[in-house]
Homo-oligomer: A and B are copies of this chain.
Amino acid sequence: MADRGRRRIPEATVARLPIYLRSLYELSDGPGTISSERLAEMAGVNAAKVRKDLSYLGSYGTRGVGYDVEYLLYQISRELGLTQDWPVAIIGLGNLGRALANYRGFMARGFRVVALFDADPAKVGERVGDLEISHLDRLAGLAESLALAIGVIATPASTAQDVADRLVAAGVGSILNFAPVVLSVPPHVSVRKVDLSIELQILSFYQQRRPVPGSESNTAS
């Protein structure tokens, strides 16, 4: 218990913990306990992987029984840092930024959008949801008092690196980047990217190589 949080958890495991978490939430009214097999099925992975993943957090299961849903839920939440609150800013309020700002469910437990920024003076002052858009130049001044932890970049590609630099300078440690560029940031800052055209292109690759649909051939070439 003393050294919890000092274990090294593989990246691949970290990426799956949120999926387990979501599966467990769906069980909130169900039985108090769940097997690795059932959890695996819900999460779309195999049981050995679930057990291995959960073993990195500690031995929170009971042999012959399974995992206590509530307890596991708490342990995963804690491991992911969701027992604390992370203030989030969205930068860039075009179509996408607005959708994100309004998206119920974007802000799962633990995250709270506390500020919106845009470089366009025409947008400054406008309300989106229950926040007012501030000018990007105010980011530096507001970051500390808001305790900003996460910046969501929803600007065009051309300004994304500049925004990232400002976020880093403001002490923000995590960036979620929707702009189609590779950001460069110092090693102590984490970046995750969401890139729609990359996802489509990956799908295109496998679509192209699909085992030809013999029966009904829509393949117009």
Contacts and interface: CB of A to CB of B under 8 A. Distances in A.
Given A99-B95, A199-B194, A211-B188, A79 B221 contact: no
Interface string A1-39: 000010001000011011101110000000000000000
A72 B186 CA distance: 30
Interface in A38-76: 42-44
Contacts of A195: 18
Interface stretch (A119-127, A130-138, A201-209): A201-209
Contacts of A192: 199, 202-203
Interface residues of A, number: 78
A85 to B, nearest CB: 10
Contact of A22 (B5, B173, B180, B199): B180
A44 to B, nearest CB: 4
Please give the count of copies of this chain that the complex contains.
2
Contacts of A102: 95
B219 A180 contact: no
Interface of A: 5, 9, 14-15, 17-19, 21-23, 42-44, 79-82, 84, 86, 88, 95-96, 98-100, 102-103, 105-108, 110-111, 144, 147, 149-150, 157, 165, 168-169, 171, 173-176, 180, 182, 184, 186, 188, 190, 192, 194-211, 213, 216-221
